[in-house]
Amino acid sequence: MKEMKEVAVLLASKAKGVNFAKAALPVLVGISREVKEIEARKENEAGPFKVILAGIAEKYKGALDVLGEVDAKVRERVMNEYQDTETIAGDEGELVFPCRWGYKVVDIKKVPPELLTVDGKAVNAEIKNGVRKIKGLSVETIRSLQVRAKKDAKD
């Protein structure tokens, strides 16, 4: 930590330009070495915990992978089967179908000059203001699905 004392002296110095850079060189090298040393000690201490965490992650990986695949398939089927945007509520929770507008360029030659760089912020601002037809762009609803589980009475 002797570099800290040197930093105070260095920053208070009147040195300029290359002379300041040359004076700063040993201080910065010392700080860099100390950072590397501390990082190595930190990594050494954290190593056993990383091994434990990796083991825990591996323990649950299979179940989480299966649940993730099943969830994706059910969500995909729900999105294909139910085209409405109304929330579906039940005793267990609710399915919410938020929609947002998005776009894709279909004919760059027809895009208005002020949007020619296809400035996403500008296009989205237009869409937010109710514009649904922009030459050269296809403006469409992008649906998604959110699942909100109700808390059990015992939670």
SS in 3 state form for 23-40? HHHHHHHHHHHHHHHHHH
- What does the block give as tokens for 146? 């959110």
Q: What is the pTM of this model?
A: 0.49
3-state secondary structure of 95: strand
> DSSP H helical segments within 17-82, as ranges?
17-81
Number of residues that this document lists for the chain = 155
Half-sphere exposure in the Cβ direction for 24 (13 Å, CA): 11
Q: Where are the domains of the chain?
A: 2-79, 82-149
In tens digits, the chain (155 residues) has pLDDT values of 566 788 888 899 998 888 888 888 888 888 888 888 899 999 999 999 999 999 999 999 999 999 999 999 999 999 999 998 899 998 889 999 999 899 999 999 998 988 887 889 999 999 999 999 999 999 999 988 777 777 765 55
